[in-house]
Chain A
Amino acid sequence: MTRTPLVDVRDLRVCARTDRGHLTVLDGVSFDIMPGEILGVVGESGAGKSMTGTALTGLIEPPMSIDGGEIRCAGRRIDNLPPDQLRLVRGKEIATIFQDPLTALNPVFTIGRQLVETIGEHTGLAGAEAQREAVTLLAQVGIPAPESRLASYPHEFSGGMRQRVVIALALAGRPKLIVADEPTTALDVSIQGQIIALLRDLCARRGTAVMLITHDMGVIAEAAHRVAVMYAGRIVEIGPVADVVHRPRHPYTRGLMGSIPAIGRRLKRLPQIDGAMPRPSEIPPGCAFAPRCPIVVPECREQRPALDPDGIHRAACRRSAEVGSA
C-alpha cells in the first residue's frame, strides 16, 4: 500500500491492576486506519473493542494503563503525550461518538451553546462566525431548519436527531478520526440506516476516518470497508469486510456469522458456539478460543497463534486454511 495510514496501532497492551493481580485487557493489538476509511471493530462484550477505542482517544484511566506498544496518529506518537498536549489531540484530531446520545449532551444547555463552545475550543472561532459554523454543521448532519434548532435543548430532539447533534459536535474540531462506539445501538432500525448513511457520507466527503465499534455485524457489513474481529483482548481476524463476512478464516468469526439469524433462512436451530468468552482473569494459555473451537488440535492449547504477518485478510489461527472449507 502506498498511502500512509492515518492511525497506526502497534502491539498495544492495556492492563488493569486489581486486588487479584495484573489482568491483561488488551494483548498485542495492531491495526491501522487509512484516511477516509471506516474500520469496523466487532466482538462480544468484554472482547476489548471499546477499550481499544478508549486507548485511541487517550481516555485510559487507572486502574487501567497502557503497558506497551504505541499509537500513532498522522505520524505522531500520541499514547505517551502529557495531558495538556493530549487535550489538543482529543476532539481536534480524534473525536468520539458514544452510544447514548442523551448522556453525551448536557441537558441544561442549548444545542447552539454546546456547539459554539466546542467550535470555539477547537477552531478559535467566536460570535457570529461560530454561530454560522454551528448552523453549517447541523445542516451537514441532516438536521432540518438548523437555524431555528440552535435554541433547542437536547430533550426537545428525538433519539435519531440527538445522535446527529452528537455527530455534529464530533465534527466541530474537524477531526481526522472519529471513534464511534456503538453509535446506532440505542436507535431503532429505521433510524440506524439514516445514521449509517450519514457516517458513510461524511467519510466520503470530508475524508474523515472512522473506527466503528459495534457488536452488530449487520451494521459493520453495511458501513465498514474493513473489519477487525476481537476475542478476549486480541484481534483474531482482520480484513476487507466482504472477505471476513463471506469467507471467514477464523473459526470464531465463522461461528459468530453462523449464529446470526437471517431473514428467510428458517432453520430449526441456529448454529451456536457453546460456552462463553473467558474473562480476562481466566484466559487459557495457547489460543483463547481453543476451549470452544470445533477444529481445535492439541497444539492450539499450547502455543498462542499470532495474526498472519502479511496479506490484507489475516487471521490468528493455525488452521485458518481449513476454516473456509470446514
Chain B
Amino acid sequence: MTTPAIPAPDLVVVDRLMKTFDVSPPLITRLATGAKPRMLKAVDGVSFRIAPGRTLSLVGESGCGKTTVARCVAGLQAPSGGTIAYRGVPIADIVAGKSPYRREIQMIFQDPYGSLNPRWRVGRIIADPIRALKLAASGAETDAAVARLLVAVGLSPADARKYPHEFSGGQRQRIAVARALASRPALIVCDEPTSALDVSVQAQILNLMRDLQDEFGLTYLFISHNLSVVDHMSSEVAVMYLGRIVETAHTADLFSAPKHPYTRLLLKAMPSLDQVGAVREPMQGEVPNPIDPPTGCAFHPRCPFAADRCRQERPDLRPLAGGTVACHRAEEIG
C-alpha cells in the first residue's frame, strides 16, 4: 500500500483518551478497614489517527488496554477523559443518535461463539442492523441484502435459514463479518477477530477481511496480540504497554527497525517457524499490575536499557524517524 499524495482527512481522531475503572473494595470494607478507593487506569492518555481505507493495529499483551480503546472507539464504553471524533463528530454524539454516522461504525468480536444469538437464525442476525437502521424499504429488499452479504463473506444464501450452532468457528466469524457489513459501515473495529480460530481458518478470515477492505473501501482498527497477523494486516501499528502507546510506526518500519525496547523484546519473543529448535532468551518478568504501575517509564522494571532517568521520569511519545516513540534512550540503543 502507498500513502496517497494528498493526505485525506482522518476518519478517526483519538486525543488523549483516558479510561479509568473503579476497583475499590466495597464501601463497607473501606469503612471497616480504612482501605482507600483504588482506580485502575486501563487507558492513560492514548492519541492516534486513522486515515480512510487504512488499517491501524493496536498490539500489546493482555491488560495493556487495547480492547478498552477499541470499545471506546466503537462507542461501547464512555471514555473517562479525552476525545474521540469520527469524521469530526464526537463519538458520544454518534452513540446518542444525533448523527447519521452511527451505522458507519461496526465491530467484530473475538469469540464467534459468544457474539451470535444462538436462538436467532443467521438471516435474522444479519437482517437486524438493516431493520434497526431502516436501511431497506421492504422485507424482500432486506432478504436480498442478507443473501448478498452471505455470498460476499463466502457463505450461501441458503445459510440464512440455519442457526449459529450449525456452523464451525470460522463460518461463524464469517457470519459476524456479514452482520458488521450489513449497515454498510466505513469503519470496522476488529477485536482479536482470528485469535479463537485455527491457523488455516485464520488465513481464510484474514484474506476475506482484506478482500472486503478493497471492495468496500473499509477502514479497520485492528486489535491483536499476534505480531505476525498484525504485520500481515496493517498499514500502521501502535504498540501499547500498560495503558499507553509506547511506539507508533508504519508497519514495515516497525518490524524492520523497532525503536522501543519493549517492541524489540516482543518481536524477539515471537516463536518463528524459521528458528526450529532455536533456544532464545525469553523476555524477563511480567506485565506489572496496572492498579499500581511502576514510577517513571512503566516498562523500566523489564527493560535491559533502563537508566536512573527511566525510573523517575515518564517518557512522552515523541517523533523519531517517521514514527513516534516513548523512550528516553531510543536514539542511544538504536
- Say whether, besides A196-B282, A242-B276, A261-B229, A270 and B271 are in contact (CB < 8 Å): no
Known: A192-B271, A245-B276, A276-B170. A259 touches B200 (CB 8 A): yes
A190 to B270, CA, bound (A): 8
Q: Is the CB of B206 within 8 A of A261?
A: yes
Partner of A261, one of B171, B204, B228, B267: B228
**Residue B252 CB within 8 A of the other chain:** yes
Asked if A125 is at the interface (CB within 8 A of a chain B CB), the reply is: no
Number of A-B contacts (CB under 8 A): 135
B61 & A189 in contact (Cβ 8 Å cutoff): yes
Bitwise interface map of B from 207 to 225 toward A, beta carbon under 8 Å scored 1, else 0? 1001000000000000001
Interface membership of B333, Cβ < 8 A = no
- Find B279's partner among A158, A197, A270, A274 (CB 8 Å cutoff): A197
Q: Whole-angstrom distance from the CB of A226 to the nearest CB of chain B?
A: 11
* Size of the chain A interface, CB-CB below 8 angstroms: 48
Give CA–CA (A107, B168) in the complex, Å. 33
CB within 8 Å of B: which A250-306 residues? 255-257, 259-274, 276
Q: Which of B202, B225, B232, B272 contacts A267, CB < 8 Å?
A: B232
- Set of chain A residues within 8 Å of B271, measured between Cβ atoms: 189, 192-193, 196, 216, 218-219, 221-222
Q: How many residues of B contact A (CB 8 A)?
A: 44
Residues of chain B contacted by A189 (CB below 8 angstroms): 61, 225, 227, 266, 269-271
- B199 and A259 contact, CB distance less than 8 A: yes
Residues of A within 8 A of B266 (CB): 189-190
Q: Which chain B positions have C-beta within 8 A of A246? A: 276
Chain B interface mostly? helix
**Contact assessment for B201 and A276 in the assembled complex, using a CB-CB cutoff below 8 Å:** yes
User: What is the bound-complex CA distance between A218 and B278, given in angstroms?
Assistant: 11
**Which one of B207, B255, B274, B276 has the highest number of Cβ atoms from chain A below 10 Å of its Cβ?**
B276
CA A242 to CA B276, docked complex, whole Å: 6
User: Which single member of A188, A219, A265, A272 contacts B62 (CB below 8 Å)?
Assistant: A188
Q: Within 8 Å of chain B (Cβ to Cβ): is A71?
A: no
- Residues in B neighbouring A263, C-beta threshold 8 A: 227-228, 231, 255, 267, 270, 272
Known contacts A190-B266, A197-B279: does B229 contact A272 (CB below 8 Å)? no
Decide if A160 is an interface residue (CB 8 Å cutoff). yes
Q: Which residues of B contact A (CB under 8 A)?
A: 61-62, 168-171, 198-204, 206-207, 210, 225, 227-229, 231-232, 252, 255-256, 265-267, 269-280, 282-283, 286-287
Chain A contacts to B: CB under 8 angstroms? 44-45, 158-161, 188-194, 196-197, 200, 215-219, 221-222, 225, 241-242, 245-246, 255-257, 259-274, 276
Q: Could you write out 22 A-B pairs with CB less than 8 Å apart?
A: A44-B201, A161-B286, A189-B225, A189-B269, A193-B282, A215-B199, A221-B276, A222-B271, A222-B280, A242-B277, A245-B276, A259-B203, A260-B203, A261-B232, A262-B273, A264-B255, A264-B256, A268-B210, A269-B210, A270-B203, A272-B203, A273-B200
